[in-house]
Amino acid sequence: MVNAITEGIRKWLIGCFASAIKHATRAEDRVLAVQWLSDSRDVIASDLRPVEKFRKLNTLINSRAVITTIANSVSETVSSYRKSDLSLSMKVALPATLAAIPLVGGHAAGIAAFGGALGVPVLLLIFLGTAGITSIIEAVLFNPEARPHIAEIIDAVVQDERLRRASAQMKAAMKEQPMDPTRFTVPPEELALRAYLLNMDPFQFERHTMSFFDAAGFESWATRKSNDFGVDGFAIHPNGLIVVQCKRNAPGNRVGRPTIQQFKGVIEEQGALRGYIITTSSFTDEAVESAGVSGRVVLVDMDALISWHIDAPAF
């Protein structure tokens, strides 16, 4: 019975950590949280003395503001355990269970003394151990809604045989400040949709654009940081890399030949399968001619982008 209660408490704590991470607003923050857990797991598994483990774990929590915020959130949730959906037997057992966490020179002070100190998550991580931390990571990574695992996906993607021709610089650019593809809610009426797309935040426009590749079943992401390649998004097609450049231009600001020529060079040099230039304006005749020579450049103007919202595009 005691083991069942302890296991129930353990699962609840795993859920507390996972929930706090999933509620982080930015995908980048969730990625940082996963890295924090991974680093913490390594510390706990190490041969360091208990006091050194505690110090290192506490340093990791204080390393970034977002981690501190997540840690505080967990502390608050655990301190309010009486209001949780835990069973009565678990609520009764929780303070004693946490008070018995092995710690430097003795035991943890117990939940009554938690208050909200940053030491609380350290104690909880020690209690959960490497297996429990792994369970938190898995709960976060395999959540299809939050999709905070984008950094881990990219780490795997850049080792993929399909990207063997991509340069080290391009692979580094793929990992710079990744953003999940996000299909934003748009007006159904065409004129309103055009106005909405023209007025979107540029980063939101990139994420919205990449959501079409994501919906087609490809691992896809946008990158917040500008890079020398002029690439705003990536998608992994079964046959290779797709690179995407987004131009949220005013209607009169047409995309010209120089942009196409530069992008063609990126596609060729990086061995990409195809490159998409997607704009809220249109393309000059010279740009269309230049793209047509390659056969690996796809031009998507505002009219074509509007059609993407009506019928899912085929890639």
Can you tell me the distance from the alpha carbon of 213 to that of 99, in angstroms, rounded to the nearest whole number? 50
Shared-domain flag, residues 109 and 207: no
Number of Cβ within a 10 Å radius of residue 247? 20
Shared-domain flag, residues 77 and 187: no
Shared-domain flag, residues 170 and 127: no
In a domain, 306, yes or no: yes
Can you tell me the distance from the alpha carbon of 144 to that of 149, in angstroms, rounded to the nearest whole number? 9
Shared-domain flag, residues 167 and 36: no
Sequence letter at residue 281: S
Q: 91, 112, 141 — which closes off a domain?
A: 141
Question: What range defines the domain where residue 248 resides?
Answer: 162-310
Shared-domain flag, residues 124 and 187: no
The domain tally of the chain equals: 2
In a domain, 155, yes or no: no
Nearest to 44 by CA among 110, 116, 132, 119: 132
In a domain, 146, yes or no: no
Shared-domain flag, residues 167 and 134: no
> Which residue is listed with tokens 């249109």?
282
Shared-domain flag, residues 250 and 178: yes
- What's the whole-model pTM score? 0.56
The one-digit pLDDT tens for each residue of the chain (315 residues) are: 458 888 888 899 999 998 898 888 776 787 788 889 888 988 998 888 888 888 888 889 888 888 999 998 998 888 888 888 888 988 888 877 777 766 544 444 444 444 444 467 888 888 888 888 888 887 776 554 445 456 666 776 777 788 888 999 998 888 888 888 889 999 999 999 999 999 998 889 999 999 999 899 888 899 887 787 899 999 989 889 999 999 999 999 999 999 999 999 999 999 999 999 999 999 999 999 999 998 899 999 999 999 999 998 988
Shared-domain flag, residues 201 and 279: yes
Shared-domain flag, residues 190 and 271: yes
> Which residue is listed with tokens 């103007």?
301
Shared-domain flag, residues 124 and 181: no
In a domain, 121, yes or no: yes
The domain that contains 283 carries what CATH number?
3.40.1350.10
The partner residues of 178 in beta bridges, in order of sequence, read 223
Q: 141, 172, 201 — which closes off a domain?
A: 141
Can you tell me the distance from the alpha carbon of 143 to that of 162, in angstroms, rounded to the nearest whole number? 26
* Angle ∠(222,16,183) on CA atoms, nearest 5: 25
Shared-domain flag, residues 133 and 168: no
Tokens standing for residue 279: 């704009």
What length is written for the chain?
A: 315
Shared-domain flag, residues 240 and 285: yes
| Segment (H or E) for 32 | helix 27-45
